[in-house]
Amino acid sequence: MFVLLNNDFVNRNECLIDIEDRANQFGDGVYEVIRIYDGEFFLLEDHLKRLIYSLNEAKINYDIHKHKLADQLQKLVEKNAFQDGGIYLQISRGASPRSHPFPKNTEPTLIAYPIPVSKPAESQEHGIKVILQNDFRWLRCDIKSLNLLGNVMAKQSALDAGAKEAILYRDEEHVTEGSSTNVFIIKDGVIKTHPANNYILNGITRLYIFFLAKQLDLTIKEEVFSVKELKQADEVFISSTTSEVIPVVQIDEDQVNDGKPGPIAKQLLNAFSEHKHIKQIQ
Ligand code: PMP
C-alpha cells in the first residue's frame, strides 16, 4: 500500500513518523475521511473545505493549495488502484520535543492512505439499536480533531450494550450527535437535526442530506431537540461518510415508532445513491 507522507508516496513500512510527532502525545492535529465510490472521490471539495476550517480553528499552518493536496490525493487513489473505500487523511502540528505550547518553525506532518469501507447494507435495511449517553466531550466538536477519546469511549459503551451507536446529549433538552455520526429525527414529516455549531461536527453527509431533502421536497430544519423528542420521534436516523444513512429502530430499551425503518429514511437512502455523481455541495 502507498501512503502519502507529506509530499512523497512511500510504502506503508517505510512511512516513518517521529515518536514526538504531536499527533502522538497531544492528538494535536485534524483529519478527514473521504469516501471513494467507483474509483472517484465523493464530495472531495467539501471535505477539503472542512479540513481548511479545522486547520484554521486549530491554528495549524498548512496550506493545502500550496501542497496541491487535491492532486496528490488523486494520485494516491491511482497509485493504489483503489476503487471503493475511503481515504484517511491527517495533518498534525508536526514533530517537536514534548511541550504544550505550539512549537516554532515546525512543519506539520501529513499522512493519507486508503482504508477499507464496507457498505453497512444490513444496518441500512433493518435499522440499528443505539444507546443514549451523556456527551462528556469538549466544547469544540466543530473541529475534526484527532482527540477522539470521548468518541471512542462512547462508541465502546454502545457496543458493550449490544448497540451500534451512542447518541449523545448534553442535558435532557439537548441531544447533540452520535459518537461518529450526525443524528436526525422526523416528526409529522419534518426532519430536524442539530444546528452546525461548536456542539457537533458539521458532517459532509449531513450537508448532503440537506441537498437530498431539497431534491425530494422534504422539510428539514436545524434545531436543537430534546431526549423526549428523540424518543417520541416518528423516525430517527444517523449519517456519516462511512454509514451513509442508517435508520435507528431502538433507543436503549425503547422502540422507535413500530421498530422498523421509516419511509423518509428509506427515501433518503434511495436518493443517496442516485445523486452520488454530484461534485460539490458548498
Ligand atoms: N459527527 C462525528 C463526531 C463524527 O466523527 C462524524 C464522522 N467522522 C460525523 C459526525 C459525520 O461526519 P461526515 O458525514 O463528514 O462523515
What amino acid occupies position 234? D
Q: If you measure from the C-alpha of residue 204 to the centroid of ligand 1, how many angstroms do you get, rounded to a whole number? A: 7
177 in contact with ligand 1, CB cutoff 6 A: yes
Instruction: Give the single-character DSSP code of 268.
Output: H
Instruction: Identify whether residues 127 and 97 lie together within a single domain.
Output: no
- pLDDT of the residue at 277: 86
- Tell me the CA end-to-end span of the chain in Å, nearest whole number: 32
Domain boundary among 93, 115, 137: 115
Task: Please say if the pLDDT value at position 165 is more than 90.
Answer: yes
Mark whether 50 and 135 lie in a shared domain: no
CATH number at residue 105: 3.30.470.10
CATH number, domain with residue 217: 3.20.10.10
240 with 126, same domain?
A: yes
| Mean of per-residue pLDDT scores for the chain | 97
Question: For 98-119, how does the pLDDT look when each residue is reduced to its tens digit (9 = 90+)?
Answer: 999 999 999 999 999 999 999 9
Question: Residue 94 corresponds to which amino acid?
Answer: G
Ligand 1 close to Cβ of residue 194 (< 6 A): no
CA atoms within 13 A on the CB side of 207: 19
Domains: count for the chain? 2
Instruction: Say if residue 53's pLDDT is above 90.
Output: yes
Residue 282 lies in a domain: no
Active-site annotation, residues: 144
Residue having the nearest C-alpha atom to atom 12 of ligand 1: 203
106 in the same domain as 78? yes
Convert the pLDDT of each residue in 227-251 to its tens digit. Answer: 999 999 999 999 999 999 999 999 9
Mean pLDDT of 127-133: 98
SS3 156: helix
Asked whether residue 203 is assigned to any structural domain, the reply reads yes
- Helix pair 69-79, 44-58: axis angle to 10 deg: 130
Q: Are residues 103 and 41 in the same domain?
A: yes
The ligand 1 atom nearest the CA atom of 47:
15
29 three-state secondary structure: strand
Confidence at residue 35, expressed as pLDDT on a 0 to 100 scale: 97
Q: What is the pLDDT of residues 19-39, one digit of tens each?
A: 999 999 999 999 999 999 999
Does the structure's ipTM exceed the value 0.95? Answer: yes
Domain check: are 210 and 270 in the same one? yes
pLDDT in tens, 60-84: 999 999 999 999 999 999 999 999 9
Q: Strand 165-171 to strand 128-134: parallel, antiparallel, or no bridges (unpaired)?
A: parallel
Q: Are strands 254-255 and 219-222 parallel, antiparallel or unpaired?
A: unpaired
- The values of phi and psi at residue 276, to 5°, are -60, -15
Q: SS3 for 180?
A: coil
What grid cell was written down for 35? Answer: 469516501
Asked whether the whole model's pTM tops 0.95, one would answer yes
Same domain, 252 and 140: yes
Q: What is the pLDDT of residue 1?
A: 95
Closest to 236 (Cα-Cα) out of 253, 215, 214, 260 = 260
Structural domain of 199: 121-274
CB-ligand 1 contact for 204 (6 Å cutoff):
yes
